[in-house]
Amino acid sequence: MNASFGVVAVTLVCVVTLGVGALGLRLSRTTSDFYVASRAVSPRWNASAIGGEYLSAASFLGVAGLVYSLGADMLWFPVGYTMGYLVLLVLVAAPLRRSGAYTLPDFAETRLESMPVRRLCSLLVVSIGWLYLLPQFQGAGIALSAVTGAPSWVGGLIVAVVVIANVVAGGMRSITLVQAMQYWLKLTAISIPVFVLLWLWLRHGAPQPNVPATGLPQERHDWSRPLSGFGGRDHPVYAMYSTLLALCFGTMGLPHVVVRFYTNPDGRAARQTTLVVVGLLGLFYVFTPVYGVLGRVYLPSLPQGVSADSVVLMLPTAISPGVLGELLSALLAGGAFAAFLSTASGLTISVAGVLNQDLLHPWISARTGGDSVAVQGFRVAAVGAVLVPYAVSQLSVSVGLADSVGLAFAVAASTFCPLLVLGVWWRGLSTAGAATGLVTGGLLAMSAVLVTVAGGVRGGWVGALLAQPAAWTVPIAFLVTVMVSLATPSRIPKGTARTMVRLHTPEDLALNRSPG
Amino acid sequence: MSGAGPPEPARRVRVTSPRRGAARRGPARPVTTEIDEQTGLGEVYMAALMRAQLRLSVSVLVAAAVLLATLPVLFLVIPATREVRIWLVPLPWLLLGVLVYPAVALAARYYVRHAEAIERDFTDLVDVGEPDERPVSGP
């Protein structure tokens, strides 16, 4: 394959990302600028930025890879990614914004008035953020190898360097601009090739997907039929519902998603933003499965050692060898890099913010006694937030991109979802209940993730339960939180009534919203 | 202030009219104060707001869940639905790949409209007691 187009596209995306980021440099001077872009971002910009940040490697490459390798059931992944925003909208969007907190740990502290719960949340934000960053670096490696033949560590390294440069230089104001641009770039990159490829496919006489025999029983190898268990997954019905649950309820607990809500001017704008996001995501996800289907038509089997996640990038040259195919492939590679850069930036901001606020900042100010080093601490934290998962991504066994993102969702759904939903809607939530729920949900989901990533149990009920843990860990986390809260009414925060006023009343009412 | 005979009863009516007005205007203390001071009345207002919002949220979620959850059941119970093709595309792919997104967006829009309506009603209800917005005179 001619690598030069791909190299040009990837370079262009990186340079433009850095350039737009530099534009915002002058605008970010204070800590508040860094964290939430001074809360002066309009719903449309904000929605594009959320879309840009959210559509990660899992969306851009992973969905097509899953559809290609596992068939119709995998259509639930993009549905779940979109549904997550509906759930977030109806359960927490406006109250979350009205809480006035920067990060999930801030929310926990505001609502529960407890430092231990805050620390637990910080720990979880960093874990989920790192878990979610892993597939971004792996995806970048896959994408760059597919278009240029570079070794897989190079792609991840490029993403790591660009993200660090951008975050360290500009903070969130520039990131908002960059992210909004990234959404439209990604939509263009995913949609234009679809139209061209579908047109070529029709001209070829619309050949049907071609699935080689796998040796499985007949009814288990119908790729195009839902719930057939194609690809050898056991218990497809359970796996599907559990995945859907994780995606629907995990979105609200993803650190980079939640931080975006603080950039809305008020609760009403937060709702409007989320509504636009649902539309933008739906628009994007209509296109992604097409690559999986056309992949089955034109690439009946992949070369040994090539991941199904690269099917998006290999498809154009398979359909149309020559310049057209290479140009489309380069466009897709650029879009994929936009996806890695934007998601990794958003995650880095959130993880760095938490690392800085809860670990570095107290440590530095204990030594210098000043407030002026806050921004410096953020920069140091950003470097750490990127380098740790990059290093791990070079060691860990590769699970599919969308699968490993799915595990991050499962952890978020088992920990932050109960905290947020009960924190927003239930006055009876006690500090002890919240803490026990976080620990229980976090431990259960994390152990399931670790066993799965380490390649522990595969197949059978145990394997299915561990690979898609949300269906049992989320209810258990809710149950534990509620039971412990009911048993410890004395630990209900004193300011709960006042906090509820703050979370639920429109901002135009003159009410006392101060904590305590 | 002694006048002629006939207008006398009319003046007495004017004396009672502010009291009727006061009763219509609601409590003498603004509701915002009741909420701020966390009185029983303030709590009732807050609980009503939260209940209305939660009812809306739960009904949207339940509707979405029922719709989504019935799709796999439909495919399982009536296998023929997995085979139907509309213009080359199998029905499950069309439903899950395309039609589900406008449906989710419509549900989101329905929610936003109604949630904003609930907040408007709450603001109207609570703001009536604001001293600066109390009508000075009138029927």
Of A309-318, B4-13, B128-137, the poorest mean pLDDT is in: B128-137
pLDDT at A1 over 90: no
Averaged pLDDT, B40-54: 90
Alpha-carbon distance A232 to A121, whole Å? 37
A24: DSSP letter: T
- For residue A2, pLDDT over 70 is answered with no
Pick from A365-379, A389-403, B84-98: least confident: A365-379
Residue A230 has pLDDT above 70, yes or no: no
Split at pLDDT 50, 70, 90, the class of B3 is: very low
Domain around B50: 8-130
Contact A511 B32 (CB under 8 A): yes
Q: A250: pLDDT confidence band, cut at 50, 70 and 90?
A: very high
Within-domain flag for B16: yes
pLDDT in tens, A56-69: 878 888 889 888 88
Where would I find the H helices in A204-266?
Answer: 236-250, 255-260
CB A352 within 8 A of CB A171: no
Between residues B41 and A121, which one has the greater pLDDT? A121
The string of pLDDT tens digits covering residues A490-503 is 999 988 988 999 89
Nearest by CB: A227 against B76, B107, B112: B76
**How high is the mean pLDDT of chain A?**
83
Tokens representing B28 are: 């003498």
Do the domain assignments include residue B75? Answer: yes
Query: Taking every pair of C-alpha atoms in chain A, what is the biggest distance, in angstroms?
Result: 73
**What is the rounded CA–CA span in Å between residue A50 and residue A53?**
5
Query: How close is the nearest chain B Cα to the Cα of A500, in Å?
Result: 8
One-character DSSP codes across B105-139: HHHHHHHHHHHHHHHHHHHHHHHTT-GGGS-SS--
Over residues A470-480, the pLDDT tens digits come to 999 999 999 99
Confidence of residue A217 (pLDDT cuts 50, 70, 90): low
The SS3 assignment for A302 reads coil
Question: Does B3 reside within a domain?
Answer: no
Residue B138 confidence class, pLDDT cut points 50, 70, 90:
very low
d(CA A27, CA A30): 9
Give the span between the Cα atoms of B44 and A234, in whole angstroms: 51
Find, in chain A, the residue whose alpha carbon is nearest to that of B125.
Answer: A509
Are B50 and A425 an interchain contact pair (Cβ–Cβ within 8 Å)? yes
The whole-number pLDDT of residue A111 equals: 93
Q: Tell me if B124 is assigned to some domain.
A: yes
Residue from B29, B35, B81, B128 to probe the interface with A (highest A Cβ count within 10 Å) = B35
Give domain limits for chain A. 4-396
pLDDT more than 90, % of chain B: 30
What is the pLDDT at residue A6? 83
The reply to whether residue A72 touches residue B112, judged by beta carbons under 8 angstroms, is no
Instruction: Determine the average pLDDT of the residues in B7-19.
Output: 54
Close Cβ partners of A437 (under 8 Å, ≥ 6 residues apart): A415, A418, A419, A422, A477, A478, A480, A481, A484
Within a domain: residue B17? yes
Query: Of residues B19 and A445, which shows the higher confidence score?
Result: A445
Q: How far is CA A120 from CA A13, A16, A108, A364, B123, in A?
A: 37, 38, 9, 21, 37
Checking if the pLDDT of B57 tops 90, the result is yes
Please give the tally of structural domains in chain B.
1
B121 touches chain A (CB under 8 A): no
Mean local confidence (pLDDT), A147-175:
80
Q: Is B65 a domain residue? A: yes
Interface test with A, best of B119, B120, B133 (most A CBs within 10 A): B119
Of these ranges, A4-18, B24-38, B113-127, the one predicted with the greatest mean pLDDT is B113-127
Please report the pLDDT score of residue A281 as a whole number. 95
Q: What is the CA radius of gyration of chain A?
A: 22
pLDDT of residue A432: 96
Higher pLDDT, A393 or A453: A393
User: Please, which pLDDT band fits residue B89 given cuts at 50, 70 and 90?
Assistant: confident
B122 in contact with A, Cβ within 8 Å: yes
Q: Is residue A198 within 8 angstroms of chain B, CB to CB?
A: no
Per-residue confidence band for A15, with pLDDT thresholds at 50, 70 and 90: confident
Please say whether the dihedral angle defined by the alpha carbons of residues B69, B72, B74 and B77, taken in this order, is positive or negative: negative
B36 CB within 8 Å of a chain A CB: yes
Query: Percent of chain A having pLDDT more than 70?
Result: 85
Q: How confident is the model at residue B2 (pLDDT cuts 50, 70, 90)?
A: very low
Topology annotation, domain A4-396: Sodium/glucose cotransporter (1.20.1730)
A207 in the Ramachandran plot: left (φ > 0), alpha (ψ -120 to 50) or beta? beta
Residues A344 and A136: beta-carbon distance below 8 Å: yes
Which 8-state DSSP code applies to residue A234? S
In chain B, the percentage of residues whose pLDDT exceeds 70 is 71
Residue type, A376: Q
Q: Are A84 and A332 in contact (CB under 8 A)?
A: no
Q: Is the pLDDT confidence value at A215 over 60? A: no
Closest-CA distance of chain A to residue B20, Å: 27
Mean pLDDT for A181-189 is 89
Best residue in B31, B36, B50, B56 for a mutation probing chain A (most A CBs within 10 Å)? B50
The whole-number pLDDT of residue B133 equals 46
Tell me the pLDDT band of A400, cut-offs 50, 70 and 90. low
pLDDT at A280 over 70: yes
